[in-house]
């Protein structure tokens, strides 16, 4: 599926997201370390030139995700504990979206009161909650399935807003229809549209007969595309979704692609690592 110029992400943003996908899907299983020359070569197959890769690496190093480390005479970078923690937290969110929540487990609600003088911090919190898949159902009131409680606590603690936030976990017991609340809190149409785009783009991708290099390029593209989708979908209970919700179909396709493409993709990546 082609993208118009107006919707294509900036080159710097694409470099960063593709590198993060590469770190999570390739570098971690290869021992939490990458040779910079090998990374440049591999990411070049995905359309990033050497300068873009090195710039993205530099920025992640400044963020504390990467630290310089040579192995077997090759210059490279190791994932830091902060990077491993962030990638694991991302895995948690992605896994949640792939498994619908149990309606009987209840909901997590976050209410905050941040003064006008701290508007920037308030914006950071709302952006963070939104990126975790929380829906906004009122002034400074955000909701997600109850299992998102640990993620909410981390987001609040990272911004040092514990004293300004009240966090609850409980059941829906009545009042406004729950389906109405959910549809007011999330743009379900937009989330579903993105799942449909993923299905359209990758449903006909061959998973057999590819050489390892092509499997690598396809695998990384699938991971990078998919990784962004669940961060708007916390894995809502099926009872509050429409019958034609395409999330499960997209999940099935994603899991099939990963299961078939990952082994040859990592085999190819290993050729760029020291023996």
Question: 2 lies in a domain?
Answer: no
Q: What confidence score (pLDDT) does residue 13 get?
A: 64
| 259: in domain | yes
The answer to whether residue 7 scores a pLDDT higher than 80 is no
Q: Is 72 found in the same domain as 24? A: yes
Query: pLDDT > 90: what percent of the chain?
Result: 73
Number of domains in the chain: 3
Beta strands in the chain, from DSSP E residues, in sequence order: 33-35, 66-68, 76-79, 107-112, 135-138, 141-145, 165-170
Q: Tens digit of pLDDT for each residue in 264-275? A: 999 999 999 998
Query: How far, rounded to the nearest angstrom, does the alpha carbon of residue 103 sit from its chain's CA centroid?
Result: 23
Are 225 and 192 contained in the same domain?
yes
Q: How far apart are the first and last CA of the chain?
A: 38
Q: Which of 93-102, 169-178, 185-194 has the lowest mean pLDDT?
A: 93-102
- Residue 275 falls within a domain, yes or no? no
| Percent composition of the chain: helix, strand, coil (DSSP 3-state, to 5) | 60, 10, 30
What is the reported pLDDT for 188? 93
The CATH number of whichever domain residue 68 belongs to comes to: 1.10.10.10
CATH number, domain at 129?
3.30.70.240
Indicate if the pLDDT at residue 131 is higher than 90: no
Give the residue carrying structure tokens 């916390």: 234
Please report whether residue 179 resides in a domain: no
Strands (DSSP E) contained in 85-162 are 107-112, 135-138, 141-145
Q: Are residues 195 and 266 in the same domain?
A: yes
Clarify whether residues 155 and 205 are in a common domain.
Answer: no
CB neighbours of residue 148 within 10 Å: 26
Point out the domain boundary residue: 83, 117, 132.
Answer: 83
Domain annotation covers residue 100 = no
Q: What is the reported pLDDT for 266? A: 97
For residue 180, being part of any structural domain is answered with no
Residue labelled with tokens 């480390």: 69
Q: Are residues 122 and 156 in the same domain?
A: yes
Which of 83, 116, 141 is the C-terminal boundary of a domain? Answer: 83
Select from 144, 170, 196 the last residue of a domain. 170
Burial of 175 (0-12, 13-18, 19+ CB in 10 A): exposed
Please tell me what DSSP assigns to residue 24.
I
Tokens representing residue 230 in the block: 């669940």
Mean pLDDT of the chain: 90
Q: Place 40 in a pLDDT band, splitting at 50, 70 and 90.
A: very high
Q: What is the mean pLDDT of residues 89-98?
A: 75
User: What pLDDT digit, counting tens, does each position of 206-256 carry?
Assistant: 888 899 999 999 999 999 999 888 778 888 999 999 999 999 999 999 999
Establish if 97 belongs to a structural domain: no
Pair of tokens at residue 20: 């993060």
> Is 175 domain-assigned?
no
Q: Which of 152, 179, 194 is nearest to 243 (CA)?
A: 179
Q: Cα-flanking dihedrals φ and ψ of residue 115, to 5°?
A: -65, 155
Calculate mean pLDDT across residues 57-79: 97
Find residue 107's DSSP bridge partners. 145, 170
What span, in angstroms and rounded, lies between the C-alpha atoms of 194 and 239? 21
Q: Do 78 and 117 belong together in one domain?
A: no
Q: Which of 102-111, 194-203, 232-241 has the weakest average pLDDT?
A: 232-241
CA distance 31 to 274: 12
Residue-wise pLDDT tens digits, 141-159: 999 999 999 889 988 998 8
Q: Which two tokens stand for residue 242?
A: 């429409």
The parent domain of residue 221 ranges over 188-270
Distances (CA, A) of 181 to 189, 195, 226: 15, 22, 27
Contacts with 207 (C-beta within 8 Å, 6 or more apart), sequence order: 256, 257, 260, 261
Same domain, 155 and 121: yes
What is the DSSP code (8-state) at residue 26? I
């Amino acid at each position: 599926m082609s993208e118009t110029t107006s919707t294509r992400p900036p080159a710097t943003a694409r470099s960063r997201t593709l590198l993060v996908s590469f770190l999570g899907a390739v570098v971690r299983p290869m021992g939490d370390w990458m040779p910079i020359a090998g990374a440049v070569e591999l990411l070049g197959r995905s359309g990033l030139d050497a300068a873009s890769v090195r710039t993205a690496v530099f920025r992640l190093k400044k963020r504390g995700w990467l630290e310089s480390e040579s192995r077997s005479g090759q210059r490279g970078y190791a994932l830091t504990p902060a990077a491993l923690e962030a990638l694991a937290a991302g895995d948690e969110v992605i896994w949640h979206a792939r498994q619908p929540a149990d309606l009987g487990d209840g909901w997590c609600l976050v209410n905050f009161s941040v003064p006008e003088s701290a508007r920037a911090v308030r914006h950071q919190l709302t952006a963070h909650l939104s990126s975790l898949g929380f829906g906004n159902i009122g002034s400074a009131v955000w909701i997600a399935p109850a299992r998102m409680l640990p993620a909410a606590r981390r987001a609040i603690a990272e911004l040092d807003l514990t004293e300004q936030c009240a966090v609850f976990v409980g059941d829906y017991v009545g009042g406004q229809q729950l389906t109405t609340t959910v549809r007011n809190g999330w743009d379900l149409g937009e989330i579903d549209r993105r799942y449909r785009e993923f299905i359209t783009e990758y449903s006909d991708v061959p998973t057999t007969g590819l050489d390892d290099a092509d499997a690598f390029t396809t695998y990384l593209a699938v991971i990078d595309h998919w990784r962004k989708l669940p961060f708007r979908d916390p894995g809502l209970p099926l009872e509050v979704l429409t019958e034609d919700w395409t999330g499960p179909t997209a999940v099935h396709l994603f899991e099939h692609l990963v299961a078939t493409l990952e082994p040859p993709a990592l085999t190819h990546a290993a050729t760029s690592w020291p023996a």
